[in-house]
């Protein structure tokens, strides 16, 4: 029976609901600052989330509108300014952690389970979220922060998960991934990982067939019941997702 030794966390949409009111707003601020006549509304950004990675999203948006592509250097500058705007939004406290995230992180850490991040967001954006939403002490509590362009292929490719596990010196037999999107689930599955998905407004229609548990959020003991979308292992007492649930999934 496999033992849960490590949790591998996605960031955007999983640790915090950062996409609609964080990254999207920051992109628009960068576009406006650059004098570009382009704004991504909520539905448009939802479509663009099918492409993983911010620079890749900008490039794809130009391609699908049959516009002359921006030079890579300009895309990189735009994305760098977008990241600075995003850090400001995070620092303002406007993007809190999702319900149940800090509870699960704390329970796992206190139980001696290794915590790691495997995300396509930039390292600076990840650092800002940890600093302002968890606290600077959490930099020491994550064993590995695998982020951004550290691997060439982004989710749904499994590369970021393989990288994180290699850095940790641990196999997929002892790791569980926590995700929010179809691309994230596909990446975790391709890496041979068990996976729990907490959907959000942008991802609730994604295909999570085969995931070990799909819920509306991780939830908290003193809050209302979470919605359970897929529960193939018939886990009991899913008022909120607990560390015991994650251990059961790993051992199944």
- Taking all residues of the chain, what is their mean pLDDT, rounded to a whole number? 95
Q: Domain range holding 47?
A: 19-91
Q: At which of 91, 114, 146 does a domain end? A: 91
Selecting among 10, 159, 180, 212, the annotated active-site residue is 10
- Statement to judge: residues 160 and 233 lie in one domain: yes
| Helices first, then strands: H and E counts in the chain | 9, 7
- Statement to judge: residues 86 and 101 lie in one domain: no
- Statement to judge: residues 232 and 136 lie in one domain: yes
Count of domains forming the chain: 2
Instruction: Report residue 142 as tokens.
Output: 């994550």
**Which H or E element spans position 26?**
helix 24-33
Q: At which of 69, 91, 113 does a domain end? A: 91
Please report the pLDDT score of residue 95 as a whole number: 85
Question: How confident is the model over 26-39, as pLDDT tens digits?
Answer: 999 999 999 999 99
Give the mean pLDDT of 127-131: 92
- Statement to judge: residues 30 and 60 lie in one domain: yes
Instruction: Report residue 85 as tokens.
Output: 């705007």
Please report the pLDDT score of residue 42 as a whole number: 94
The secondary structure of residue 92, as a DSSP letter, is T
Beta strands in 12-141 (DSSP E): 114-118
Whether 149 is catalytic is: no
- Statement to judge: residues 41 and 152 lie in one domain: no
Selecting among 12, 17, 61, 159, the annotated active-site residue is 12
Give the mean pLDDT of 39-51: 94
Q: Give pTM, 2 decimals.
A: 0.90
- Statement to judge: residues 143 and 233 lie in one domain: yes
In a domain, 1, yes or no: no
Secondary structure class of 23 (helix, strand, coil)? helix
Whether 127 is catalytic is: no
Question: How confident is the model over 196-229, as pLDDT tens digits?
Answer: 999 999 999 999 999 999 999 999 999 999 999 9
């Amino acid at each position: 029976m496999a033992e849960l030794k490590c949790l591998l966390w996605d960031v955007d949409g999983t640790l915090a609901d950062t996409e609609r009111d964080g990254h999207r707003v920051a992109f628009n601020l960068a576009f406006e600052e650059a004098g570009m006549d382009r704004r991504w509304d909520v539905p448009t950004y939802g479509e663009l989330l099918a492409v993983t990675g911010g620079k890749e999203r900008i490039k794809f948006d130009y391609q699908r509108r049959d516009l002359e592509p921006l030079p890579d250097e300009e895309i990189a500058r735009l994305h760098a300014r977008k990241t600075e705007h995003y850090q400001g939004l995070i620092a303002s406290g406007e993007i809190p952690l999702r319900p149940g995230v800090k509870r699960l992180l704390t329970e796992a850490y206190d139980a001696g389970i290794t915590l790691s991040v495997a995300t396509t967001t930039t390292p600076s954006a990840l650092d800002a979220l940890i600093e302002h939403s968890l606290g600077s002490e959490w930099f020491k509590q994550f064993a590995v922060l695998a982020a951004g362009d550290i691997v060439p292929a982004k989710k749904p490719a499994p590369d970021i998960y393989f990288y994180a596990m290699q850095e940790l010196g641990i196999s997929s037999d002892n790791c569980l991934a926590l995700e929010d999107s179809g691309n994230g689930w596909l990446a975790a599955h391709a890496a041979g990982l068990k996976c729990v998905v907490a959907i959000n407004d942008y991802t609730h229609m994604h295909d999570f067939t085969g995931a070990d548990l799909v819920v509306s959020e991780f939830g908290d003991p003193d809050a209302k019941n979470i919605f359970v979308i897929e529960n193939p292992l018939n886990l009991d007492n899913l008022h909120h997702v607990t560390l015991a649930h994650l251990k059961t999934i790993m051992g199944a």
